[in-house]
Amino acid sequence: MNSIYAINHPKLIDKIVIKKREEMMHIIDNYLKKYALSSALDIGTTNDLENESSNYLIKNIKNIKIFKSLSNQKIDPKFFQKSINKSITEDLTQNEIYSFGSDVVISNATIEHVGNLNSQLKMISNIIKLSKKFFIITTPNRYHPIDFHTKIPLIHWLPKSFHRKLLSILGLKYFADEKNLNLLSENDLKYLLNHFKNIEYQIHYIKLFNFKSNFIIIGKII
């Protein structure tokens, strides 16, 4: 299938996204199924209830009794027993850590939207504080040929300052702002994760068009 055809057809894109998230869920299930987990916290929950791909991982994780949400959006309480309207890069109080700490913390395609590396480091630090046993972070690969945020191939491989200038010229000012989009490579992820000595982690991959399109970090608190 021609990749340019794919990126210009929203329904096809959504089907691809769902398929890739099904693959992610399979990897996550295979890892977690041997552990007894009762609670899950979703980081960066969206209030989009129309798209099947939205909040996909938290909706499909198995054998969980208590679901919680931390998001800078106001979330429909139907699915979550507890929710808090807060950015994951803000400082957490001890009461919030106690109340929202969970066996597994899941963040699906959020870390690339919180800002610079320092903000991403703060996000991971907070995820670890909230994780009683495991955490899962997914994010697209900066070095996949297509950026599915902008639907433009290859230009995101340029140095980041050039990439942002070009996005501004093309009228994509929202994504030109580092606060809204800061794509990560595998080396970037390792750099961030290796700051923390109380975790073990594995990086898994999803492929699209024979390139690594998404990373799945499965971490364990030690």
pLDDT tens for each residue of 192-210:
999 999 999 999 999 999 9
pLDDT score at 54 = 84
Contact 196, 125 (CB under 8 A): yes
Residue type for position 183 = L
Highest-confidence range of 24-33, 75-84, 196-205, by mean pLDDT? 196-205
Residue 5 pLDDT exceeds 50: no
pLDDT band for 3, please (50, 70, 90 cuts).
very low
pLDDT exceeds cutoff 50 at 189: yes
Is 41's pLDDT higher than 60? yes
Structural contact between residues 42 and 68, judged by C-beta atoms closer than 8 angstroms = yes
Domains of the chain: 3-142+181-205+215-221 (3.40.50.150)
Span 38-51, average pLDDT = 89
Q: Alpha-carbon torsion 45, 48, 53, 59, what sign?
A: positive
Residue 38 has pLDDT above 50, yes or no: yes
Query: Exposed (0-12), middle (13-18) or buried (19+): which is 186, by Cβ within 10 Å?
Result: middle
| CA quadruple 134, 131, 213, 185: dihedral sign | negative
E strands, the chain, where? 39-43, 66-71, 82-85, 102-108, 131-140, 146-147, 152-153, 199-208, 211-221
> 75 and 44 in contact (C-beta within 8 Å)?
no
Q: What pLDDT score does 151 carry? A: 87
Q: What is the pLDDT of residues 151-182, one digit of tens each?
A: 899 999 999 999 999 999 999 999 999 999 99
Q: What is the pTM of this model?
A: 0.92
> In terms of C-beta distances under 8 Å and separation of at least 24 residues, what long-range contacts does 72-77 make, across chains too?
72/44, 73/45, 73/46, 73/47, 74/47, 75/45, 75/47, 76/47, 76/49
Q: Residue 75: pLDDT band by 50, 70, 90 thresholds?
A: confident
Give me 87's structure tokens.
């950015």
Residue 119 has pLDDT above 90, yes or no: yes
What pLDDT sits at residue 61? Answer: 87
Q: Average pLDDT of 4-26?
A: 74
* Confidence category of residue 138, pLDDT binned at 50, 70, 90: very high
- Per-residue model confidence (pLDDT) at position 4: 41
